[in-house]
Chain A
Amino acid sequence: MAFTQEEIVDGLAEIVNEIAGIPTEDVQLDKSFTDDLDVDSLSMVEVVVAAEERFDVKIPDEDVKNLKTVGDAADYIAQHQVSKA
C-alpha cells in the first residue's frame, strides 16, 4: 500500500529535522527547502536520498531542481511511489 500524504509530509519533516535541525512542526507544505528550512543544495541531496529510502521511490537528479517546497516533494513522492499492492 502507498504512503498517505500525511505520512509523506511527516516523514519529510523528520528527515529535514535530522539533516538541518529544523523543528518538525515547522516543516509545512508551503515551506521552501532553501529559503525557509536551511537546506542548501548539498543537504538537499541528503534529503532526497533519505526520502528515496524511506518512501521507496527514485528521484532522478534532473527532477530534484523542481522540488522547491515540501509540497513539491510530497506530491512528487505520492505520484512516483511504487505501489505495494
Chain B
Amino acid sequence: MSPTNRTVVVTGIGATTPLGGDAASTWEGLMAGRSGVKPLEGERFAELPVRIAAPAAVDPGDVLPRPLARKLDRSAQFALIAAREAWADAGYTGKAGEDDKVQPNRLGAVIASGIGGVTTLLDQYDVLKEKGVRRVSPHTVPMLMPNGPSANVGLEVNAQAGVHTPVSACASGAEAIGYAVEMIRTGRADVVVAGGTEAAIHPLPIAAFANMMAMSKSNDEPQKASRPYDTGRDGFVLGEGAGVVVLESAEHAAARGARVYCEVVGQGLSADAHHIAQPEPTGRGIAVAMQNLIDDSGLKPSEIVHLNAHATSTPQGDVAEIKALRRVLGDDLDHVAISATKSMTGHLLGGAGGIETVATVLALHHRTAPPTINVDDLDTDVDADIVRDKPRALPEGTIAAINNSFGFGGHNVVLAFRTV
C-alpha cells in the first residue's frame, strides 16, 4: 500500500465539555438531551446584551495541578485534559518513546482553536493597566499564542513528527482533524493526537459576537436559547471546552492490537469567497466541500446514515447547510439522521469540530444518533430528517457519518467516518 492512501482509524477519544468532564459523561448528557447553557452571573457580564453561555461542566482548575494550570491558557487546559483522556483511551501508557508502541518521530499533534488565548491577552492587559509592567506574567506569550494548546499537547505526548495549528474560526477543530488525517496518509506520522479547543467566555468576545448579531439574546430562557432548525432561533450560544481524538494508520493500530472505534473516510474542504462572516445563503461552498469529500474518498451517499450538523442556531446558516446537503445527496439525504448537538453544548467555536467529532465517533460506536433539543416548531425550509428530542438508533451493517464545521471567513470542512 502506498503511503498516500493509508487507512486512518480512530483509536482514542477525550472531551471536556459543557455536558461533562470526559467523553463518557458528555455522551450521557447528549443522550439525555440536557442543555449545558446557564446564565452568566457577575457584574462584568451585567451590561451585556447576551448574558448566557455554556461553561465547561468541570472547571479545568479542579483537574490540573495549580502550578501547571497557572502556566496554561484555559483553552490549553481544556486541550490537555481531553488529550490525556484520549491518549489513555487509545491504550498508550506513557509518552512516545517511554511507551515503545509509538516512537516520538512518528507521532504528531494538531490541536486548533478559533481565537486562541484571548482571555489571557485580555486579563494580562488588565494587569498591565492596573498593576504595571513588572506584573505582566512571563507566561503571557506562550499562553496567548494560538498554537499553545497544540504545543502543550505535543509536549505531553512527546510528539516530534510535527505539531500544527490550522486556524479557520469555527472550522478550526475539524480542520485540525483533517490535517492530522493527511499527516498519516502522506506517511509523515503513524499516530496523531488531534482536535479542537476553545475558552472565550469573557465579556469582550461576547460583546463582539453580540454586536455582529450572531448570538442568541434569550437571556430569560438559557436552556431554550440554542435551538437549531426551530423557527424561533436567534443566534448561537457560546460554549467552551475541548474534544480530542487519537488517529492512527490502520496498520499501526492493528500491529499493537488497539481497539478501533471507526475509520476516518476522509475530508472535504472548500471556501465560500462570499463574505467575511455571513454564510453563503444557498450553501454553494458547503456543497462543494461535500462533493469533494465524496469524489476524493469514494464515500457512497447510500452509506451515510448520520450527520452531526454545523447548525449553530442562526437563521441563515442552519438552512444553508441543509440546502447544500440536499443538493449533493439528493434523495440519499432522506436516510440521514441529522443531529445538532450545539442545541445542548452551545457553540465551542474552534472546539466544535473536536467535540462534535467525538460525538460522531460515539454515535457510530453506539449506533445511536444524539437528539436535537428545542426544535419546538421546525422551520419549513429544513427539508431533512432532524432527530428531535430523543436519541435514535442507527442501522446495523457498515454505516457512515458526517461531521460538518464551517467558520467565519467562509471555511468549510466536512469530515466522514465509517464503521469497520
Contacts and interface: CB of A to CB of B under 8 A. Distances in A.
Contact of B67 (A19, A45, A49): A19
23 contacts: A18-B66, A19-B67, A19-B70, A20-B67, A21-B65, A21-B66, A21-B67, A21-B68, A38-B67, A42-B71, A42-B138, A42-B139, A42-B142, A43-B71, A43-B138, A43-B139, A45-B138, A46-B137, A46-B138, A46-B139, A49-B134, A49-B135, A52-B134
Contacts of B142: 42
A46 B137 CA distance: 7
A42 B137 CA distance: 9
Interface residues of B, number: 12
Interface of B: 65-68, 70-71, 134-135, 137-139, 142
Closest 6 CB pairs of A and B: A21-B67, A45-B138, A42-B138, A20-B67, A42-B139, A21-B65
Nearest to A46: B138
Nearest to B141: A42
A43 to B, nearest CB: 7
A19 B142 CA distance: 16
A19 B70 CA distance: 8
Contacts of B135: 49
A18 B70 CA distance: 10
Interface in A18-55: 18-21, 38, 42-43, 45-46, 49, 52
Contacts of B139: 42-43, 46
B146 to A, nearest CB: 19
Nearest to B68: A21
B151 to A, nearest CB: 14
Contacts of A38: 67
B129 to A, nearest CB: 17
A18 B66 CA distance: 8
A20 B135 CA distance: 18
B85 to A, nearest CB: 22
A10 B138 CA distance: 24
Contacts of A45: 138
Contacts of A19: 67, 70
Contacts of A49: 134-135
Interface in A49-65: 49, 52
Interface string A1-22: 0000000000000000011110
B63 to A, nearest CB: 15
Contacts of B134: 49, 52
Given A19-B70, A49-B135, 10 more contacts: A18-B66, A20-B67, A21-B66, A21-B67, A21-B68, A42-B71, A43-B71, A43-B138, A46-B137, A46-B138
A46 B71 CA distance: 11
A43 B67 CA distance: 10
A46 B135 CA distance: 8
